[in-house]
Amino acid sequence: MGYNRSKGGTGMRFLHCGDLHIGAGRGDGREEDFATAFLEVAALAVDRQVDFVLIAGDLFDRRESNPQALGQASRGLGLLRRAGIPAYAIEGNHDKALYVDRESWMDYLDREGLLHLLRRPEGERLYLSYEEGGNVAYCGKTRIVGLPYAGTRTRELVERLTEEIPSYDGFTIVMLHCPVGSQMAMDNAYLPSQVVEALGEKAEYIALGHIHTAYRHLDIAYNPGAPESVRLEEGIGGEKGVYLGEVGPEGLRVELIPIRRRAAVRGEALLTPYMDVPGAETAIKRALAETVQEAGALVCLRVRGEVSFDPAQLDLLDVRAYGRELGIKMLDLQIRLQNRDSLGSVAMDMEELEREVLSTLWREKGFEEERLVEMTLQLKERILEDRNAYAEIAQDVERFAMERREQA
C-alpha cells in the first residue's frame, strides 16, 4: 500500500483486475472457480463504490469461449452495470478473435453495453487525441488509454504512444497486457524499465495484465495477477488479487486486495532403495494424505530419492485415482528419482515432459503450433476423466485448420 503522484482532483476510486480466465479449468472441473472469482471482484467493486473497473486483458481463457463462459462473464459484468459502474477492458492474448472470426466475444460484450472495449483504430493512428473513441475513453476527469495484446510489437506501439499522447489536465491511466521490468513471459511481449519510465511521464497509473502473480514496478505500473490460480504453481506462494486505487488529498493510494481462491499446497515424498514398487506407491500415497489439509485443494507433490527399480514402473494413474479419493482437485506429480543401479537419474516434471514430447511429435509433422499441444493435452485429460468432449475437440481442430488455410 502506498501513495503515488496524482493530478486532476480528488475523490476518484477504481478497481484494477486482469487475467480472470473465465472458462478455464474444464479438464479439472474448475470452471466455477473462475466464475466465482469474477463475481467476487464485481461484488468488491460495488461494495467499495468505485467509479469504474479496469480489466487488463484475458477476461476469457479461450478465444472460442463456450456459452457457459460467456454467461459467467455476463453475470459479473451485469452486476457492475446494475450498480452503475462502467468496466473498461482491453483484449489479452486469450481474448483476441480467431483469424477466421474477425470479431471476439469481447466485441460482443461491448455491443451489449456490458463493457467498454478499448481498441486500436485501423491504420497507423493509435488513438483520437481529445475525443472518446478507438482506444481512448473518459470517465469524469480520468482519461483511460488501452492497447490490446500486441505480442512482439508491444514495445514499438508503447514507444509510439509515449511520443504521441497529448498532455491532459486530468488523471491518465494506460492499460497494457504485457510484463515489464524484471518480469518475463515466453512471448516477448515485454517492456524494459526505461520504456515504462518514459510512459510514466505521460500517465499517473499503468494498469497491467498477463503475469498471474502480483507485482508493481517503479510505483507507476501495477499488475494484480490472476484472482484464481490458472495453473497450480501460481497458488503456492506469491500474492494475487485486485488493485484498489483511490485519488485523495495526498495523491494516489494503491492497495492490493486478495480474492478468495482455491487452496494450493506443496508436499514431498521421499523414496529409499529399500522400497519395492508397491512400497514406493504406498509412500507416495501416504505423503499425499499428509499434504492435503482440506478437500478440493490443488496439490503439488515432489517425489524424490534413490530407488532400486525403474521409476517408470510406478503406477501413477493409481496414485492420481487415490488423490481423487482424497478430494484433490488438481494434482501435479514432480518425479525426481535416481536409479541406484544406473549411472543416470530420472528428473521430470510430468507436465513439462508431456509438453516436450508432444511439441517434438508435432514439429516432426511440420508444425510448431502451441495450440496443437494444448488440444492434444485437453483430449488426453478428457479421455482419462471419461468426458464426452470429442465434438468440441473436433471443432477446435477444424477452426485451427481453417485459420491455417486463411493464413497460407
Confidence check: pLDDT of 225 > 70: yes
Task: Decide: 363 and 338 in contact? Cβ < 8 Å.
Answer: no
Residue range 227-265, pLDDT digits in tens = 999 887 777 777 899 999 999 888 899 999 999 888 888
- Which pLDDT score is estimated for 135? 86
Owner of C-alpha cell 488509454: 145
Q: How confident is the model at residue 339 (pLDDT cuts 50, 70, 90)?
A: confident
Q: Is the pLDDT of residue 402 over 70?
A: no
Burial environment of residue 392 by CB neighbours within 10 A (0 to 12, 13 to 18, 19 or more): middle
Give 184's pLDDT tier (boundaries 50, 70, 90): low
Mean pLDDT, rounded, of the chain? 82
Between 390 and 21, where is the model more confident? 21
Q: Distance between the two ends of the chain, CA-based, in angstroms?
A: 50
264-271 sheet: strands from edge to edge: 264-271, 298-307, 330-339, 345-349
* Helix ranges (DSSP H) in 112-258: 154-164, 193-199
Dihedral (Cα; 207, 209, 211, 214), 10-degree rounding: 40
pLDDT at 142 exceeding the cut of 60: yes
Q: Return the residue matching grid coordinates 493435452.
A: 377
Question: Sign of the CA dihedral 62, 48, 84, 140?
Answer: negative
Q: Quick one: average pLDDT of 367-384?
A: 63
What is the distance between the alpha carbons of residues 286 and 280, in angstroms, rounded to a whole number? 10
**pLDDT tens track for 270-329:** 999 999 999 999 999 999 999 988 888 889 899 999 999 888 899 999 999 999 999 988
The Cα–Cα gap between 312 and 342 comes to 14
In single-letter form, the type of residue at position 15 comes to: L
Distance (Å, whole) CA 328 – CA 288: 9
Q: Which residues pair with 208 in a beta bridge?
A: 176
Q: Find the mean pLDDT for residues 87-112.
A: 82
In whole angstroms, give the CA distance from residue 327 to residue 315: 19
Judged on CB neighbours under 10 Å (0-12, 13-18, 19+), 194 is exposed
pLDDT at 385: 46
Which residue, 133, 22, 99, 102, is CA-closest to 67?
Answer: 22
The shares of helix, strand and coil residues in the chain, as percent rounded to the nearest 5, are 35, 25, 40
Model pLDDT, residue 71: 92
In angstroms, what is the C-alpha Rg of the chain? 23
Find out whether 373 and 358 touch, Cβ atoms under 8 Å: yes
Q: Mean per-residue pLDDT for 111-122?
A: 84
* Helix, strand or coil, per DSSP, at residue 346: strand
Which tops the pLDDT comparison, 373 or 322? 322
Strand residues in 60-182 grouped as ranges (E): 87-90, 116-117, 136-139, 142-146, 171-177
Kindly give, in sequence order, each residue whose CB lies less than 8 Å from that of residue 321, ignoring residues fewer than 6 positions away: none
In the predicted model, is pLDDT for residue 2 greater than 50? no
Q: What is the pLDDT of residues 160-173, one digit of tens each?
A: 889 888 888 889 99
Q: What is the DSSP string of 68-117?
A: HHHHHHHHHHHHHHHTT--EEEE--TTTSPPTTT-S-HHHHHHHTTS-EE
- C-alpha span between 26 and 385 (Å, rounded): 11
d(CA 145, CA 11): 20
What would the grid cell of residue 232 be?
A: 497450480
Cα–Cα nearest to 110, from 83, 132, 80, 88: 88
Task: Decide if pLDDT at 110 tops 60.
Answer: yes
